[in-house]
Chains A and B, each alone.
Chain A
Amino acid sequence: MADVNRGNRPLSPFMIGSVYRPQITSVMSILHRITGCGVGLSAILVVWWFLAASSSPYYFDFADGLLTSWIGNLVLFLALVSLWYHFFNGIRHLIWDAGSGFALDQVRTSGIAAIVAAGVMSIVTVAIALWG
């Protein structure tokens, strides 16, 4: 039993909470994984839409109607923002993989640039979806 003689020694602190101050680096890092998984899940909906479009007008109307309902639009909008975030943050990762951009000020600047670019491209894509 490992716990018998633990006494009153402190436990390893759980880092997420009031003791941990989040930084742009760590937050953007975990967001890269979360958005990646989110885009993957929403890609299943896109495959389903294509399957419906390959089947019949009735099935297409059902799938397309669901994806463009308010809940469908909300899910797809979140997927869109996630996709552009993962896209631009991915470019950031590739630049790091190539061996540059590691200085703290560069990391912050590129992080903010990726977030801004993701926001702008999300708006552009929604505009194309609405009026394109």
Chain B
Amino acid sequence: MHFRTDRQRVQGLGTSHSGVHHWWSQRLTSIGVLILVPLFLFPFVRALGTDFETAREIYGHPFNAVVAILTFAVGFLHLQQGVQVVIEDYVHDKPVRTVMLVANVILCAAFAFTGIFAVAKIAFA
């Protein structure tokens, strides 16, 4: 560290080209899921294995619906960030890596919004 000038330290922002932004963002979503996961999990395991009406009654409740929507939003963002690091670490072929990184973003976003749509449809029914 002592051999580097201040300018060199910020120029290009390291191998990620974005400094610590991704790392910091991942800490924020991890705190998000830390709060959301317990709130999501307990109503969910109660709804699982019941009948159609009971499941819809549980997610017709605004608190459960909002928690489920936030969990899908923050959870899939956290998943996208985590899988991105795994791909960057293990996939060395540049074109394959790029395709996987793009697919990761698209799939995580698709599942997040599908989940949010489904919960909203139940809650607004």
A residues bordering B, Cβ < 8 Å?
A: 33, 36-37, 39-40, 43-44, 46-47, 49-51, 53-54, 56-57, 60-61, 64, 67-68, 76, 83, 87, 90-91, 93-94, 97, 125-126, 128-129, 132
Contact = CB atoms under 8 A, between A and B. Distances in A.
Interface string B37-52: 1000110111111111
B115 A36 contact: no
Nearest to B115: A47
A51 B114 CA distance: 8
Interface in B55-104: 55-56, 59, 68, 72, 75-76, 79, 82-83, 86
B34 interface: yes
Given A36-B83, A60-B55, A129-B45, 13 more contacts: A36-B86, A37-B82, A50-B122, A51-B117, A53-B47, A54-B117, A54-B119, A54-B122, A83-B41, A90-B30, A93-B30, A94-B27, A126-B45
What interface size band does chain B fall in? 35 or more
Nearest to A53: B55
A61 B121 contact: no
21 contacts: A36-B83, A36-B86, A40-B79, A40-B82, A40-B83, A43-B111, A46-B115, A50-B59, A51-B114, A53-B52, A53-B56, A60-B51, A60-B52, A67-B48, A68-B49, A76-B48, A87-B34, A90-B34, A129-B46, A129-B48, A129-B49
